[in-house]
């Protein structure tokens, strides 16, 4: 008898395949972050490009306002000092008084140096005729003043006039007080400036008839001008180009009149000869006028 042994075989449970986990989020987030960073950098760069200051083309303009310095006090002090410094007489008492007065202007050193300028036995006398300030230069703490002094020097019966230029240093404190810190030092006398007069020739385009009209108009005007009222001038002058002068003058003639075109206007360079009835002098007044013709000739500019 066969015994059949049946084994209960366990049913094999199929193994579950391990599911593959795909990490979608991590890498994608990193990529998005990088793109975001790149976009921000690009936007920021564009913004800076539009808003940045071009250092090569931008220039700051600094406006420096000049401070007006009142030099009237320094000039007055200089004139008073020069009159005392350059005046003396060959008299002991006058010389001593001069030195005492100079003590109000000079430092101790300056006063000492000035002792030998005018000796007791000096044979001359000096009288200051005038003192003219030529220029004032403002320094950090003082002023340098250039001036011209005219003196009459007398020795015995002989007298002569001289004119000399000097420069002196003046200190001014916060209260406006002054003191001479450097004695007058002689400098070159001012000379006449060189100036070449530019000859103005008449315009050949202006015909003879127009020239005669302008000349007649100007002669009429300058006969009336010395005593003309403001209302009377309105007929000859526009925009108050010339104002009343109310002078006792007699018109004589126009001298060396020159006319030339300036756009729609005529420029007139003239010398007007007048006789002054009060002083009995003959005067030449020089005018540069701008004339315009509408119905009549009028003066529209004067310099």
Note the pLDDT tens digit of each residue in 26-82.
566 676 667 777 777 776 677 666 655 555 555 566 665 556 778 899 999 999 999
How much is the pLDDT for 20?
Answer: 56
Domains 72-187 and 208-302 alike in fold? yes
Q: In the prediction, which pLDDT does 199 show?
A: 72
pLDDT at 1: 46
The CA distance from 126 to 85, in Å, is 10
Question: Which tokens hold the place of 189?
Answer: 């006398």
Per-residue model confidence (pLDDT) at position 40: 73
Residues with pLDDT less than 50, the chain? 1-3, 5, 9-11
Per CATH, domain 72-187 is 3.40.1390.10 = no
Topology of the domain covering 208-302 = Nuclear Transport Factor 2; Chain: A, (3.10.450)
Instruction: Give, for 12, the enclosing helix (H) or strand (E).
Output: none
Strand-pair category, 249-262 with 178-187? unpaired
Please say whether the dihedral angle defined by the alpha carbons of residues 126, 132, 134 and 139, taken in this order, is positive or negative: positive
Structure confidence at residue 301 (pLDDT):
92
What pLDDT is recorded for position 284? Answer: 96
Give the whole-angstrom CA distance, residue 267 versus residue 287: 10
What is the structure's pLDDT at 55? 54
Q: Where are the domains of the chain?
A: 72-187, 208-302
Q: How distant, in Å, are the alpha carbons of 168, 236, 286 from that of 225? A: 48, 10, 14
pLDDT of residue 29: 65
Per-residue confidence (pLDDT) for residue 2, from 0 to 100: 47
């Amino acid at each position: 008898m066969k015994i059949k042994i049946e084994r209960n075989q366990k049913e094999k449970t199929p193994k579950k395949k391990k599911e593959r986990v795909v990490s979608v989020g991590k890498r994608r987030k990193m990529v998005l972050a990088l793109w975001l960073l790149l976009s921000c950098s690009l936007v920021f760069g564009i913004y800076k490009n539009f808003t940045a200051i071009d250092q090569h083309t931008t220039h700051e303009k600094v406006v420096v306002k000049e401070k007006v310095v009142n030099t009237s006090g320094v000039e007055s002090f200089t004139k008073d000092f020069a009159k005392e410094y350059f005046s003396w007489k060959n008299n002991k008492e006058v010389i001593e008084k001069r030195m005492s007065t100079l003590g109000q202007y000079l430092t101790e050193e300056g006063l000492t140096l000035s002792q030998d300028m005018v000796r007791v036995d000096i044979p001359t006398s000096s009288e200051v005729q005038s003192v003219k300030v030529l220029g004032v230069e403002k320094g950090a703490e003082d002023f340098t003043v250039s001036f011209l002094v005219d003196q009459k020097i007398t020795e015995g019966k002989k007298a002569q006039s001289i004119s000399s230029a000097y420069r002196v240093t003046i200190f001014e404190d916060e209260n406006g007080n002054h003191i001479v810190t450097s004695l007058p030092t002689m400098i070159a006398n001012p000379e006449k400036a060189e100036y070449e007069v530019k000859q103005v020739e008449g315009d050949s385009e202006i015909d003879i008839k127009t020239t005669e009209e302008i000349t007649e108009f100007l002669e009429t005007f300058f006969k009336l001008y010395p005593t003309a009222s403001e209302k009377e001038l309105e007929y000859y002058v526009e925009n108050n180009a010339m104002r009343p002068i109310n002078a006792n003058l007699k018109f004589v003639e126009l001298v060396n009149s020159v006319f030339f075109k300036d756009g729609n206007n005529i420029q007139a360079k003239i010398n007007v000869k007048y006789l002054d009835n009060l002083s009995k002098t003959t005067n030449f007044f020089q005018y540069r006028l701008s004339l315009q013709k509408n119905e009549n000739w009028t003066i529209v500019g004067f310099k």
